[in-house]
Amino acid sequence: MVKSGVLGYPRIGADREWKKLLEAFWSGKLEEAEFHRQLEEIRLNHLRKQQEKGIDIIAVNDFSYYDHVLDTATMFGIIPKRFSFEGGVVPLSVYYGMARGTKDATASEMTKWFNTNYHYIVPELDGASPVLTENKPLMAYREASEKLGIEGRPVIVGPLTFLKLSKGYNLSDTDAWLGRLLPLYVQILQELEREGVQWVQMDEPILVTKLSAADLQRLKTIYETFAESVPNLNIMLQSYFESVEHYSDIVALPVKGIGLDFVHGSSGNISSIKALGFPADKVLGAGVIDGRGVWKSSLLVKLALLQDLTEHVSVERLIVQSSCSLLHVPVTIKQETKLITELKDALAFADEKLDELVLLAKAVSQSSAGIKEELEEYDRACQKIKLSYERNRKDIQHTVTAISSQHQERSLPFSERYLVQQKKWQLPIFPTTTIGSFPQSAEVRRARQLWRKGEWNDEQYTSFIREQIDIWIKLQEEIGLDVLVHGEFERTDMVEFFGEKLAGFAFTQNGWVQSYGSRCVKPPIIFGDVAFKGAMTVEETKYAQSRTERPVKGMLTGPITIMNWSFVREDITREQIAYQLAFALRQEVEALEQAGISMIQVDEPAIREGLPLKEDEQAKYLEWAVKAFRMVTSTVLDITQIHTHMCYCEFHDMIDSIEEMDADVISIETSRSHGELIHSFELNTYKLGIGLGVYDIHSPRIPQIEEMTSMIERALRVLDPKLFWINPDCGLKTRGFEETVASLRNMVEATKIARGKYAYL
Ligand code: GLN
Ligand code: ZN
């Protein structure tokens, strides 16, 4: 019998009960003992569910109190010095301190887990030698075995991945750190072996990236050490999110199993197996069910793939697995009552994926006619969506194909547009502006609730929004900003707002996934052809512009960001989806222009995170991402000034692409890592308008004038003063009223000082 396996299960619970528990504990509403007890209940429920569905190999130790990378660091006693931890088992106060900060110590940095929207806490190797504080995998294994009779497969973040994701040490110390960590890993594994554990899942997603010769050598050292130290423990060396680089090095390692992703790196992994074979003494964990997407799989197609694999791996050595942990998908489709049937029938969240795995494992083992029929029927149900109206908007498909084959170019190059725009706008040197949103006060949120519940009619809501706009237009004028915004009071979320107004989107009631810690997001599903249905932002923007003589920027979310923050259909390419979105947004840009709005910002904070993991695919992605942006923004008049905004990320590797977006002005979040970003402008010149955020909006702290003047001065050492704008790092939605006004006043003061120094220009 071929076995089914799951690499990890979502923690948050079908009703986000996990999130609620964490938050109750943080706010002091829950005693620690009760907190542990209730989390245990959730953890056991999740294991029981997999057991009842018939999953053969269930991951244990996938559960977390916050994040699995933080768990790993904590297990090794890797606690930054500022938390003054003195040894022993790490208390929850320190654990959550690292994640969220305490009154005395700032939180550790958080960053994206490979190319997903999940954020992990970056381990800081700041000196103290690691020690094993507790054997978490062993505890998880025992619990599953004693309480549920499950022979679990403990999952552990592998040493190479852990090291590569950590920071705070010199690269020249990598081997020293490995030397400290490796014995602790060995100790964990030996204890597991002694316990009688059969298999361990060693997660090494770093294997899908290019590794240096030194890292390959480390990999070898690590897994040879394990093979010698725990000869009776089987290690499944698990990769995911792409095909592995260095296939032959990896399959030559002395481990008993290799887990590969046959969804996101399928072609690469298959061609490696076909070309180089798969070692006869190893088990292949075949990740064929998508752990990241929300769609059902065509089980016939998956079966064919698995049968293909059996030409290289014997059936007894095959495990039918999820492609990665199911952490990245919502829990269950069961509670969704509002989706159209064709769509609901096509979706599989975590629980439904368990069924797919079991069915598929059965089908590979016994190719009876009955099973074949079952698979055929399954596939038929999920294919109905192909015939839906939403997927067959031929008009849109044709127009988008035609438009995307054209050049997306503004009629004048920047250097000439700039002069025309200067003449029209007469802006002072260092124009000041903000990124779009102003504080969403309790009052704003309450108004939206009342309106959504039907307690307020449209008129009441609209007049409330207008009042807010009035308040903030006045304030912005009084503070002395040059380019104003309407404040985005009508929006909860920058993607949802547009998704709700465009065709082709669906929204779930409960499709939450963990983004970081207790924070969950509910991404929309782009399931059909995206189409413009009517103006989305014109009313509010036009209203705001009618209240002032100064220019008001229209505010849109860009195509790539909308796409990257949604679950998307898989029958067409991401590139095509981006063009459909771009065409729809372009119609919004044109509508704004016709309504007299001549500064339009198209936000693309998520452009960098869509970058493929494989270096050789990155250029192509950037090319079509830039093209999509230009498709939105290139049909405007010369005087229309296009702005864009990006949140902080490592821009140094894509500055050229940013320039190619050809936005008249870009604002970038900078203040948290000022040095690094500025440094990239030392190496590359940037020839368009640019505003580097002069203060951090993530903190309630009011920035001092001098801090901002020195930031401005540093930036002006590498950027052309004539093209320089002054703005905060990002939108001000999450900030309070008083601090926002005070901070902006200081920003304007800092600008005046800078203007004084550059008055000769
Ligand atoms: N215009 C958006 C805002 O100000 C941009 C937010 C973002 O970059 N994430 O809220
Ligand atoms: Zn931002």
Q: How many Cβ atoms sit within 10 Å of the Cβ of residue 508? A: 22
Average pLDDT over residues 175-202: 98
Long-range own/partner contacts, residues 124-129 (CB < 8 A, 24 or more apart): 124/73, 124/78, 124/80, 124/166, 124/167, 124/168, 125/78, 125/166, 125/167, 125/168, 125/169, 125/177, 126/80, 126/81, 126/168, 126/169, 127/81, 128/77, 128/78, 128/79, 128/81, 129/180
In DSSP terms, 284 is beta-bridged to: 258, 318
Q: Which ligand is nearest to the CA of 729?
A: 2
Long-range own/partner contacts, residues 650-655 (CB < 8 A, 24 or more apart): 650/608, 650/676, 651/608, 651/677, 651/680, 652/676, 652/677, 652/679, 652/680, 652/683, 652/684, 654/607, 654/608, 654/611, 654/622, 655/680, 655/681, 655/684, 655/686
CA of 603 relative to ligand 1 center, distance in Å: 7
Q: What is the pTM of this model?
A: 0.95
**Nearest CA residue ID for atom 1, ligand 1:** 436
Euclidean distance between CA atoms 736 and 714, whole angstroms: 29
pLDDT at 282: 98
Mean pLDDT of the chain: 95
Residues 564/625, Cβ–Cβ less than 8 Å: no
Pocket test for ligand 1, best of 437, 552, 672, 697 (most atoms within 8 A of CB): 437
CA angle 380, 384, 390 (to 5 degrees): 160
- In this model, does residue 215 exceed pLDDT 80? yes
pLDDT at 681: 83
Q: Which residue ranges have their beta carbon within 6 Å of ligand 1?
A: 435-437, 488, 494, 555, 603, 605, 645, 647, 730-731, 733
* List of domains in the chain: 3-387 (3.20.20.210), 435-668 (3.20.20.210)
List, for residues 726-742, the tens digit of each pLDDT value.
Answer: 999 999 999 999 999 99
List, for residues 275-288, the tens digit of each pLDDT value.
Answer: 999 999 999 999 99
Euclidean distance between CA atoms 421 and 402, whole angstroms: 30
List, for residues 391-446, the tens digit of each pLDDT value.
Answer: 999 999 999 999 999 999 999 999 999 999 999 999 999 999 999 999 999 999 99
* C-alpha count within 13 angstroms, C-beta hemisphere, residue 250: 30
3-state SS class at 368: coil
CA of 515 relative to ligand 1 center, distance in Å: 18
pLDDT band at 651 (very low <50, low <70, confident <90, very high): confident
One of 398, 652, 679, 698 is an active-site residue; which one? Answer: 698
- In this model, does residue 160 exceed pLDDT 80? yes
CA of 667 relative to ligand 2 center, distance in Å: 9
CA of 730 relative to ligand 2 center, distance in Å: 4
- In this model, does residue 652 exceed pLDDT 80? no
Share of residues in the chain with pLDDT > 70 (%):
99
